[in-house]
Amino acid sequence: MSKNLDLFSAPAQSEQAQAAIKIEALRQQINRWAHLYYVQDAPEVPDAEYDRVFRALQALEAQFPGLVTPESPTQRVGGAPRPELTPVRHAVPMLSIHTETDVSPAGAQAFDARVRRELGLAADAPPVAYVAELKFDGLAMTLRYEAGVLVQAATRGDGEVGEDVTHNIRTMRQIPLRLPSDVPPVLEVRGEVYMARADFENLNEAQRERGQKTFINPRNTAAGAVRQLDPAIAAQRPLKFFAYGLGEVTPVEQGGPDFATHFDLLQQLKQWGFPVAAQTTQALGASELVAFHERIAKERDQLPYDIDGVVYKVDALALQRQLGFKTREPRWAVAHKYPAQEMVTRIEGIDVQVGRTGKLTPVARLAPVFVGGVTVTNATLHNLFEIRKKGVRVGDQVIVRRAGDVIPEVVGVVPGARPSYVANFRMPTHCPICGSDVVREPGEANHRCTGGLFCPAQRKEALLHFAARRAMDIDGLGEKLVDQLVDGAVVHTLPDLYRIGLVGLLALERMGEKSAQNLLAALEKSKSTTLARFLFALGIRHVGEATAKDLARHFGSLDAILNATTDELLQVPDVGPVVAEAIHTFLAQPHNLEVVEQLRACGVHWPEGPPAERTTLPLAGQTVVLTGTLPTLTREDAKTMLEAAGAKVAGSVSKKTHYVVAGEDAGSKLAKAQELGVAVLDETGLMALLGKSA
Ligand code: IVH
C-alpha cells in the first residue's frame, strides 16, 4: 500500500525534496542573520531583506507543511497555552553559589585564600587562575539540546527539580533553536534569563499609559514571563540570556568535548551562538579579582541590565574537580555582591515637581536610605494613579529601587507597617511653581500645569520650542544659550527675548561680539513671521504645526482665534474636543494673553486676512491618512500631491478621516480605518481621487 503510494507520488516527492533543500538554506540564512542581530548587535542586512527572506520561508513552509520542524525560525511563537508547568528532574543538579560575606573588594582575597588552602598550595606557589564574571540578576535557566536541537528549557526550581518552560524560552530570539553540527549529542547550556533595564522601563511606561499595574523590577518581570502558561504573553516580554556554564554533556569517552578551562568552555558557547557577557575575563590571583570587582562597581550603573555582584570561578576544570562541592555549593566559585538596588525605607512626605513639559510628578521624600550605591532621599511616584494603585501613603514603609541611571522610584508598600490614619494623597489644583490651573485630560494618567510659557519650570522648554526652525526660526538660539539666558535671569518670558540688547548678550560667558550680533539679527528677522508659525511657537498643548496651519487658515487673524468659542474652534478641520479644550484652557490664563500681547508689542507681526473661504481645490476639507508602503509613490510624494489638491494629510485615523491610503505592511491604522468604516484606497485609488489615472 505504502509502496504504491510512493510510486504514485514520485514527481511530487522530488518537488518536496527540492523544497526541503531550499527551506534548509533559508533557515540557515535567517539563523545567521538573527544571531548577528539579536546576539552580536551587528545586523548584516536591512530589516526589510530579513523580512523578505523570512516571508519566503513562511510561504514555502505553508506550501509543504510536512517540512515544518519545531526548530524552524518561523516556529518561535505558536504553541498552545499549557494547563500547567510540568516538573523536570535535572540530569545534573543546578547548584547555588556561596556568597562572600565581606562586601568590600577585599572579599576576593578571602575567597582566594580559601581556594589556595583547600588546594594545599604553599604561600610562594604561583597565583591561581580564575574567571571573573558578572552576577546577573535574573533567573537561572538550563537549555537542553539533543542532536543540536533545543528539546527542553527548565527553571532551576529547588536545584533538583525545576519546571518545563520550553514553550516560553523558544520565543526568545537570543536562544538558538538549533546549534551548529559540531555540538555533542547531548548538551545542556546553563545561564541567566534577564530583562534589560530599558526594556523594563519601556514595558512599565506602556503599562502606566494604559493605566495598568506596573512591574516591580526586571528580575521579577523576567521570572513572571518565563513562567507564563501562554507563550504568546512571554513572546511580548523582551527577555534576554547570558550563558555561564554547562549541565549534562556527552562524556569525553563518548565523544563529548574536553575543555581544559572554564574560559575555553565559555568561548566555545559563544562560538555555538550563545550570548556571553563581554565583561567575562580571565583573572590571575586575588589582586586581579579585586581589580575586577572595583572596575565593575564603577561600570555597574552604565550596564544595560541589573547585576547584583560578580562571580569568581576557578578557571582550570581539573582544579574545580579537585575542590569539589560542599552540600549544594561548589568550592570553586563564589559570589561577591554589591550594595542592593532595592531597600526599604519610610515616606516622610510627598512633594510635587513640575517638569519641563508641565507634567506634575509626585515625589516621595524619604528617610535617607543607601540603595544602589548612593544615599537616596527622594524617589518618584510617577503619577496619582500609580500612588493609588500601589496604595502609597505618607508614613508607609516602602520598597525603593535605584538601578543604573534610572531615577530612584517607589515600587511598592511593605504591607502591614502603616501607622495611624493618614490621608490619601491629592494632586494640587494649581501649579506649585506658577499657580496656573492644573488639568488632567480624560484618559491620561498625568496631571499638567497649563502655565506653558509662563511657568518658570517650563521656561527653557518653551523658549527652545519658540525658537525652533518650524516655529519662530531664531537661528543660533540653542540649548546652551537658553540655559545661560534663563539661569542668568536675562530672560524670564518669551517677550524678554526681544528685549535683550547687545550689552546684555555680551555680558554672557563665552559670547563674542560676532555671535551676539548674529543672534540679534536672527531675533529681528524672526519678528516677521506667519500666524501659523506664531501659533505653533506658543507651544499650546496639542497644537502642532498642522493644527496651527488649520487654525490660521480657518480664522485668518489672531484676534479671531482669541475670541473664538470652543464651538467655533470645533469647526476647524481636525480640531476635536481635546484640542479645542487645550486651546481654550491656554487662552483662559490671563498671563498667557499678556505674553501674546507683549510679543506683538515687541514687533512680532504677520500678514492677517479674512477667514478662509471655501476654496475650490478638489480635496479641500478632506482629511487623508497614509499608511504602509505604496508600490511606486513615496510617502512624501503622496503627501505633496494630496496637499496640492487641498487635502489635509493627518497622522492618525479618526472618525473625521475621509480616506486611508494603505500600502504594503499597513498596520494598526488600516485596522482602525476598517473598524471606523473609513474608506480605504490603494495607490490606484489614490491616483483616481487625485484625478490622475495611472
Ligand atoms: S554559576 C555552580 N555564574 O546566581 C555555580 N551563576 O546562586 C552555578 N548567577 O541561581 C551558578 N550570574 O542564576 C553562575 N555568572 C554567573 C551567574 C550566576 C548569576 C545566578 C544563578 C544562580 C545563582 C547562584
**Nearest-CA neighbor of 434 among 459, 456, 463?**
456
Mean pLDDT score of the chain:
90
pTM for this model (two decimals): 0.69
Condensed to tens digits (0 to 9), the pLDDT of residues 82-95 reads: 788 999 999 999 99
Kindly state if the Cβ of 140 falls inside 6 Å of ligand 1: yes
Among 90, 92, 131, 136, which is best to mutate for testing ligand 1, by the most ligand atoms less than 8 A from CB?
A: 136
pLDDT, average across residues 588-604:
93
Instruction: For residue 371, list its beta bridge partners.
Output: 374
- Sign of the dihedral through C-alpha 366, 368, 370, 376: positive
pLDDT at 626 over 80: yes
What pLDDT, on a 0 to 100 scale, did the predictor assign at position 2? 42
Place 4 in a pLDDT band, splitting at 50, 70 and 90: very low
What pLDDT, on a 0 to 100 scale, did the predictor assign at position 612? 65
Kindly state if the Cβ of 689 falls inside 6 Å of ligand 1: no
What pLDDT, on a 0 to 100 scale, did the predictor assign at position 613? 57
Tell me which of 22, 135, 240, 648 is the catalytic residue: 135
Kindly state if the Cβ of 330 falls inside 6 Å of ligand 1: yes
pLDDT, average across residues 278-306:
95
pLDDT, average across residues 107-126:
96
Of ligand 1's atoms, which has the minimum distance to the CA of residue 97?
7
Of ligand 1's atoms, which has the minimum distance to the CA of residue 134?
15
Kindly state if the Cβ of 95 falls inside 6 Å of ligand 1: yes
Which of 42-46, 221-225, 438-442, 511-515 has maximum average pLDDT?
Answer: 221-225
What pLDDT, on a 0 to 100 scale, did the predictor assign at position 488? 81
The H-or-E segment that residue 245 falls in is: strand 240-249
Annotated active-site residue 135? The verdict is: yes
Contact 466, 494 (CB under 8 A): yes
User: At what angle are helices 459-467 and 479-487 packed, to 10 degrees?
Assistant: 140
- How far, in Å, is the centroid of ligand 1 from the Cα of 308? 11
Kindly state if the Cβ of 99 falls inside 6 Å of ligand 1: no
| Distance separating alpha carbons of residues 580 and 582, to the nearest angstrom | 5
Condensed to tens digits (0 to 9), the pLDDT of residues 489-517 reads: 889 889 999 998 898 888 888 888 998 99
Of ligand 1's atoms, which has the minimum distance to the CA of residue 133?
15
Kindly state if the Cβ of 245 falls inside 6 Å of ligand 1: yes
Kindly state if the Cβ of 244 falls inside 6 Å of ligand 1: yes
Condensed to tens digits (0 to 9), the pLDDT of residues 427-449 reads: 999 999 899 999 998 778 899 99
189 DSSP assignment: E
Of ligand 1's atoms, which has the minimum distance to the CA of residue 156?
10
Q: From edge to edge, which strands make up the β-sheet containing 186-194?
A: 149-155, 139-146, 186-194, 240-249
